[in-house]
A and B are shown apart, each in its own frame.
Chain A
Amino acid sequence: MEEMPLQHLLALSVIHDSGSITEAAQRLRLSQPALTRALRQLETHVGFTLFERHARGVTLTPSGQAFLAHAQLVQSLTQQTSEAVRQWHRQRPREVRIAAADVPMVELLPSALALLRHSAPDVRVRLMDATAPEIMACFREGLIDLALGPVPPHDPSDRLRIEPLMDAELVVAVAPNTMVSDNATLSCLRHLGWVVQGPLDGLPDPLGDWFARAGVEAPRRILSCESASTALQFITAEGFVGLLPEPLARPAQLRGQIRVLSINDTLPSRRMALFYPQTRPLDDAARMLYSAVRLALHHART
C-alpha cells in the first residue's frame, strides 16, 4: 500500500484550523476539488471518516479528533524542518560554474536549470563557453566545476570522472531546395560538400567511420565546426550536406530551414556525458546542478 503523504496530514490539520474546506484550500493554495480529493485519500488511508460535513463547514468525528494530534505533530515537525533548511540556505551563498556543449545545452539544461531554480534559488549558475580542449584547462585552473558534452577523448592524466548521460542521434540534413531525394544513398551524397558539427579535438571522426563502414569512399569537401549555427549556415546558404545532432537540427527543421534525410544506413550517434575531475569532488552547489541534470534526464526518458 502506498504511504500516507505528509501533505495529506498537513491538510487535515489546516482543515481543522479553518473549519471549512473552502478556507483551508485557500490557505493551502490548492483548488477545492484537489483538497477534497486529498482528504478523501487520507480517509481511505486511515480507514475511517475524519470530518462530518455540515452546511456551514466541517467538524472532526471522534476518531478524527483522536487522530488530529498526529497530523498536528507532523505539521509542526515539517515546519521546523523547513525553518532549519531555510536558515541553512540563508547563511551560504552558492555558485556553480559549468561548461556545456550545444546538445546538452538544448536537451537537458533548460529543464535542469528550472529544477535548480526551484530547488535551490540561491545557487547562481555561470555557464562557460568552453569546448573540449579548453575544458581541461578550465578544470586545471579551477574555473569550472563540471562539464556537459561529448565524452572527452580518453586521457588517463586528466583523471576525469565521466558519467554517460545520453546518446545524441546524428541526422543528415540539407537545404530544402537541394536536389537530392529524401532517401538518398551515401554514394550519391558523397559528391556534395559536407559540414560536420561537433567537437574538433581528438574525438573519433564520425563521418569517416560511417562512410568506411558503409564501404563508400568518404566525401572530399568536409568542413568541421563546433558551432551549430555555422553548420546550419553552410547547409542553408552553401548547399552543404550536414551531419549534426538531432536536437540541434530539430528547430531548424521545424522552421523549414533544413530538410532531414532518411538515410538507410545506421547513423552514428554521439555519446554525451557529464564529467568533472576526480581530484576535486563537487561542492554543494555543483552537486545540486548534478542532481538537477540527472532528474531532468530521468524526466526526459519517462
Chain B
Amino acid sequence: MHALEMRVGQLRALVVVVAEGGVSAGARRLGVAQPTLTRAIQQLEMALGSPVLARGPGGLELTDFGRLLLPHAQRLLRAHEKAQEAASQLRGEPHAQLHIAASALPRLLLLPAASRALWAAYPEAQLQVSEAAYPHVLQRLDSGALDMAMCPVPLSQLPQAYEARELLTVELAVTMRADHPLRRARSLADLASCEWIAAGPSFGQGLPEAFARNGLPAPSCPVHCESLEHALRLVGHTTMLTLAPAEVVRQLPLADSLFQPPLRDQMPALTIVLLLPRRRALSPAAQTLLAALEQTARLMREAMR
C-alpha cells in the first residue's frame, strides 16, 4: 500500500464513477473507453491496497474503504485543480473560478466594491456566491469547495483548523412591519409580548441576551430562520419581529415595508468575520478578492466611526 503512487487520473476515475453512478456513465462523461476507466480504478485499488468499488445488489457500490477514501480523493482532486488554475493565473491568464459564501450583511455591503477589484484584475473571473450560515460553511471550507466565507461566527466555538479575521461590527436593531401596531414602542419591554423570529445573526443568541441584559425574560421565539433575508420577508408580512442591522435593511428591496423603532435599550452587536481554513492554498485571484474585501471593510469601518 503506497498512497504516494496514486495518480490524479485514478482519483478522478473514482470520483466520476461515483458521481455518475456507474462505469459506463463515468466513461461517457470523461470521454474514455470503459475498460480504461475500469483499469484506472483497479490501479487505484492496487496503489492503496483495498477495493474501492464492489458490485452490490443495486449495482456498483462503494466499499467501506471506498467510503473512507472518497472525501480524501475529492479534496485532493480539488487541490490539484486549484493548483492548475493558480499556475494559469501566475502565467497571466485572466480566468479564475472562485466560490465564496457570504451572509446577507457582507454580501450587501462588501461584495459589490470588492468584486469590482477582482474583475479589474481578472476580467474573466467567474464568481459564485452562496449563502453562508455557521457552522455549515466549515465543512465546505474544509473540503475546498469554498475559497472563503463571510458570516457571523461564535468565535469561542470556532475549531482550531480555521482562521477568522474580523471585518465589520454593526449594531442590531429591532425590525418590524412598517405599519406594525407597536411601531411606537420605545423599549424592549414594550415588545416583550410579541413573537420573534430568530434569524441569521440572532439565531439562538443575541435575542435572549438582549432581553436578559435589560432584565426581561426571554421572549417567545417560534420561528428560526437561517437567512436574514427570509426572516425580513416574514417580518414584512406578519406581526413577528426580528433583529437586523440597519445597514442590511436599507439595502433590501423591501426596505420601505420595514421599520426599525428607536429603542432606548442597549442592543447586541453583530460581528462579521472572514473565515479561511488554516491549511489553504488561495489562487492569485482569490488573494485579490480577499485583499479587496478586507480593504472595503476597512474603509467602511472608518466611515462608520
Contacts and interface: CB of A to CB of B under 8 A. Distances in A.
Are A and B subunits of one complex? yes
A282 to B, nearest CB: 8
B6 interface: yes
Contacts of B170: none
B72 interface: yes
Interface in B2-36: 2-4, 6-9
Contacts, number: 141
Instruction: Sort chain B's interface into a size bin.
Output: 35 or more
Contact of A70 (B3, B91, B281): B281
Contacts of A284: 50-51, 63, 65
Interface in B186-224: none
B257 interface: no
Given A84-B68, A294-B42, A73 B50 contact: no
A46 interface: yes
Contacts of B39: 294-295, 298
Given A6-B8, A86-B1, A291-B46, A74 B76 contact: yes
A71 B83 contact: yes
B90 A6 contact: no
Most buried by A among B43, B73, B87: B87
B152 to A, nearest CB: 27
Contact of A78 (B43, B69, B76, B84): B76
Contact of A46 (B4, B54, B90, B281): B90
A37 B75 CA distance: 27
B45 interface: yes
B299 to A, nearest CB: 26
Given A72-B281, A77-B75, A122-B49, A4 B8 contact: yes
A4 B80 contact: yes
A118 B49 CA distance: 8
Interface string B262-305: 00000000000000000111101000000000000000000000
A70 B76 contact: no
Given A5-B7, A292-B46, A294-B42, A84 B51 contact: no
A46 B55 contact: no
B86 A70 contact: yes
Interface string A214-248: 00000000000000000000000000000000000
Q: Which of A70, A88, A121, A284 has the most CB of B within 10 A?
A: A70
A89 interface: yes
Contact of B8 (A3, A66, A281): A3
B82 interface: yes
Interface bin, chain A: 35 or more
Nearest to B47: A119
B234 interface: no
B48 interface: yes
Interface string A25-63: 000000000000000000001111000000000000001
A85 B3 contact: yes
Secondary structure call for the A interface: helix
B79 A77 contact: yes
A288 B49 contact: yes
A262 interface: no
Contacts of B4: 6-7, 10, 78, 82
Contacts of A85: 1, 3, 48-50, 68-69
A71 B90 CA distance: 14
Contacts of B79: 70, 73-74, 77
Interface string A66-100: 11011111101110111011101100000000000
Contact of B54 (A69, A72, A287): A287
Contacts of B49: 85, 89, 119-123, 288
A112 to B, nearest CB: 10
Contacts of A282: 54
A77 B71 CA distance: 11
Contacts of B65: 88, 284
Contact of B46 (A70, A89, A115): A115
Of the candidates A81, A82, A89, the one having the most CB atoms from chain B within 10 angstroms of its own CB is A81
A4 B9 CA distance: 10
Most-contacted residue by chain A among B4, B88, B280 (CB, 10 A): B4
A21 interface: no
Closest 5 pairs (CB-CB, A-B): A82-B3, A70-B83, A120-B49, A46-B87, A287-B51
24 contacts: A3-B8, A5-B7, A6-B7, A9-B80, A46-B87, A48-B87, A66-B284, A67-B90, A69-B281, A69-B282, A70-B86, A73-B280, A74-B83, A81-B69, A82-B3, A85-B69, A88-B50, A88-B65, A118-B46, A120-B50, A281-B55, A281-B56, A291-B42, A291-B46
Interface of A: 3-7, 9-10, 45-48, 63, 66-67, 69-74, 76-78, 80-82, 84-86, 88-89, 115, 118-123, 281-282, 284, 287-288, 291-292, 294-295, 298
Interface of B: 1-4, 6-9, 39, 42-43, 45-51, 54-56, 63, 65, 68-69, 72-73, 75-76, 79-80, 82-84, 86-88, 90-91, 279-282, 284
